[in-house]
Structures are given as C-alpha cells and as structure tokens.
Amino acid sequence: MVPLLDPDPYILVLTGVGFLIALVAWLPLALRRLPLSLPIVCIALGAAVFSLPGARLVPSPLDHPEFTERFAEFVVIIALMGAGLKLDRPFGWRRWEVSWRLILVTLPLSIAAITLLAGTWMGLAWPVALLLAASLAPTDPVLAADVQVGPPRTGEEDEVRFGLTSEAGMNDGAAFPFVHLAIALSLAASTGEPWAAKWLTYNVLWEIGAGVAGGWLIGRAFGWVTFRIPAETKLAQTGDGLIALSATFVSYGLTEIIHSYGFLSVFVTALTFRAAHRSHDFHREMHDVTEQVERLAMMVLLLLFGGALAKGLLSGLAPGDVAAALVILLVIRPATGLLGLLGLRASASEKLTIAFFGIRGVGSIYYLAYGLNHMEAEGAERLWAIAGLVILVSILLHGLTVTPIMRLLDRRHGRDPDAEDIPPPGLQGPGAG
C-alpha cells in the first residue's frame, strides 16, 4: 500500500512554489489598504514553515555565506533595474536635487554615525564597525517598494516617492566604496600595507567612474536596438519585457568583468534605457516583468530570512545591541536625513517622511555577506544578529506605518489614495521648464 502522507520532496517543492507564486500575485492587492506589508507576511510564513518539526534545513547566512551573498545580489540587481525604469523624471542636477542630498550628505553622515556607534557603544573593531555601518546605512531598493514611485507613466511620482526611489537606486553603488574601505582597513591591520592610495584610485575613482560609464554605454546600446533600429527588427516590436532582464544581466556582468560597481551600472543602464524613448509603452512591459521576478525572489529570500530568525539568528545579540538597533533606525537615519534635506523646497511633512523611511533590507544582507566573505572579522555571529535585528525591526516598523503615512500624505497633497483611475502625469521636479 502506498503511504498517503509521504510525498516526494520534488512534489513538495513544486506545491510550495505554486502557493508562493499565487501569493506573489495576490498579496499586494490584498494588503493594499491594510497597515501590513508583503515582507512582514513573508517573514512570518518563513518562521512558521521552518519551525515545523520536520524542517531540518537551517537557512542561516553563517552556514551558507556564498549562497547568501549571491542570492541577495541577484535580488538587488533586479530591483535596481525596476527602480530605474519606473522613474519618469528626466535625469538632471536640479531635478534630482533631493537624490543628491540623500546620497552626498545623508549616506556619508549615516555611515559615520553608525560606525561611531558600533565602535564605541557596541565595542566592535573599527574596520568591522565600518562594515556594519556601510551595510546598514543604504535605503533598500527591494523592501522600499511601498514608498517608491508607481510603474512608468502612471504619474505616481511626488517628491517623497521620487526621493526614496532614486536614493535606493543610487546608494547601493555609493555605499560600496565604504565596504571596500572596511576590507582595506582590515587587511592593513594584519599586514601593515598602505591602503589609502589604492582605495581612492581603484575602489572610488575607477570603480565608480567605470560603473557609471559602462552603465550609460550599455543603456544606450539597449535603447538603440530596442527603439531606434528599423521597425521590423527593433526589440520593442517583440512586446517581450524579458529584454529588461537581459539588460540587467549584461550590464551587471560586463561591468563586474572590468571590476567596477555593477549595482551602479545597472541603475544607470535602466535610466539611460528609459531615456532612449521615455514615453514608449514598452517600458511598462519591461517594468512589469522585472517587478514580478523581483517580488518572487524577494519572497523566497524573506522566507529564508524568517526561517533563519526561527532557527536562532538573533541569538548572538549582546547586551545593548537592541538599543543600538533602535538608535540606528529612529535617531541616526531620521537625523541625517533631515540634515541632508535642509534647504530643500519641500514641505516639512515630506522631509520627515523621506527621513523616516530609510528602509533596511536585502541590500544590507548582501553588503554584510560580501564583506565577511572578503575579510577576516571576529564575531560574525553577532554581526549577523545585529543586522538581522535592524532589518526585522525596519520591516515591522516601516511596514506597519507605510500605508497610513503615505495615504495621509496623498490626502494632504490633494490625491485620492483610493482612486482607481490613473493619476495625472508625474512631476518633472525642481528646475523643470
């Protein structure tokens, strides 16, 4: 007699993937008006599944460091392409003033403040403190989706949503030099070799410059073959949004081959690709594909993160780490955000919202995994516990407040958050004319 409750693991995986895809499609609609976010649901599901008596897998980043780095990397680059494609506002210094402020002022100040906190209050070695700071300072392009702009040409691009979307797109590349600085300082502490000149010329000037230039060239190339070559062969004629995934992987791969910042390259590629024919409907097709892939990959990662929490990821916390995590989220990010936005032509409520929603998530997982895989650092268990706690609190805090705060902000600006029709065209930003 065939046992009824002894299914093949392959069948279980297929069944689970089927349920997961259904949740990917349905949950965003179900949660649209609730003070609850998709990441919260994913973490809860992951914790529940991995707490079952038969769940023997321990999805800990300590046990699977290479997989953690690579899978988080994959999710982030998909999110960066999606973020770049859905930005309607043309690129420019004045139009993107809020973005430059968040990248050039808020991000470095956040890294400095978290480094100081981690090196003094938490007692970490300074290179390790800097690695933790560089991992926890950037706003995440994946989990910040609820405070980002809408799909291309939907007009859902007020200053708050634009600022947080563009910040999330740029700061993953902008934070990488600080991760490399932590690695360089760690190596110098053990070997005594000079590090400053190499870090400045290679990790800052070359990798940023080559990443931007490479992303622009690849975006131009994809824009040309998609929109500009003869009608019978242009890629836009296919109507297949998978072209966005092609651009993502080509951009990331080629720029990583020449040892530059692939994250930055992917975002620049997306912006350049969008600028090739800003009003074309094909951008919506490409955005929809990237969003679906991103959401599915994000749910898998957060299920594993929930499982890691259930299996004791936070057990390495030391006394005072919980308070430090709250300071990072409730003091450092809002304070540095407001400092960066001083003088910006925006209402106080908009500035407060941008400063508050510095969401931590998948990017933090990637940077910490990358750093720990490339440097000698004592206390990796505690570092993962601290990062896991900050990410968890961020997901809960921001996830529970994003819907009511954004709905209130929309009403204050004369927008109906429950409207089903397409809102008016998106803002062009300061200096548009």
CA 34/CA 401 separation, integer angstroms: 10
DSSP 205: I
Write out 268-321 in H/E/C secondary structure.
HHHHHHHHHCCCCCHHHHHHHHHHHHHHHHHHHHHHHHHHHHHCCHHHHCCCCH
Tell me what pLDDT residue 108 has: 96
Residue 354, domain member (yes or no): yes
**Environment class of 338 (CB within 10 Å of its CB; exposed 0-12, middle 13-18, buried 19+):** middle
Tell me what pLDDT residue 412 has: 76
Residue 184, domain member (yes or no): yes
Residue 375, domain member (yes or no): yes
> Helix %, strand %, coil % for the chain, to 5?
70, 0, 30
Tell me what pLDDT residue 3 has: 53
Residue 46, domain member (yes or no): no
Tell me what pLDDT residue 106 has: 95
Which tokens is 107 given?
């991000």
Whether the CB-CB separation of 81 and 247 falls below 8 Å is answered with yes
CA distances from 37 to 48, 167, 289, 397 (A): 17, 21, 21, 10
DSSP 145: G
Tell me what pLDDT residue 70 has: 95
Whether the CB-CB separation of 158 and 354 falls below 8 Å is answered with no
CA 259/CA 104 separation, integer angstroms: 23
Query: What is the torsion angle, in degrees rounded to the nearest 10, for the CA atoms of residue 10, residue 11, residue 15 and residue 20?
Result: 0
CA distances from 294 to 105, 150, 347 (A): 29, 15, 32
Cβ atoms within 10 A of the Cβ of 418, count?
10
Residue 229, domain member (yes or no): yes
Residue 425, domain member (yes or no): no
Whether the CB-CB separation of 150 and 157 falls below 8 Å is answered with yes
Tell me what pLDDT residue 423 has: 40
Whichever domain contains 119, its CATH number is: 1.20.1530.20
H helical segments located in 31-122? 38-50, 65-86, 97-101, 107-120
DSSP H or E run through 370: helix 362-374
Tell me what pLDDT residue 7 has: 60
Residue in this structure with the two tokens 């691009």, named with its chain if needed: 157
Range of the domain at 286: 64-148+155-406
Residue 54, domain member (yes or no): no
- Residues recorded for the chain: 433
- At position 50, the amino acid (one-letter code) is F
Residue 162, domain member (yes or no): yes
CA 336/CA 357 separation, integer angstroms: 12
* pLDDT tens sequence for the chain (433 residues): 455 555 666 776 777 778 777 877 777 676 666 666 778 888 988 888 888 876 677 889 999 999 999 999 999 999 999 989 988 888 888 889 999 999 999 999 999 999 999 999 999 999 999 999 999 999 888 776 667 777 787 766 788 888 888 898 888 788 999 999 999 999 888 787 888 999 999 999 999 999 999 999 999 999 998 888 876 667 777 778 889 999 999 999 999 999 999 999 999 999 999 998 888 888 888 888 898 898 889 989 999 999 999 999 999 998 899 999 999 999 999 999 999 999 888 888 889 999 998 888 899 999 999 999 999 888 899 999 999 999 999 999 888 888 788 888 878 766 666 665 434 333 344 444 3
For the chain, what is the domain count? 1
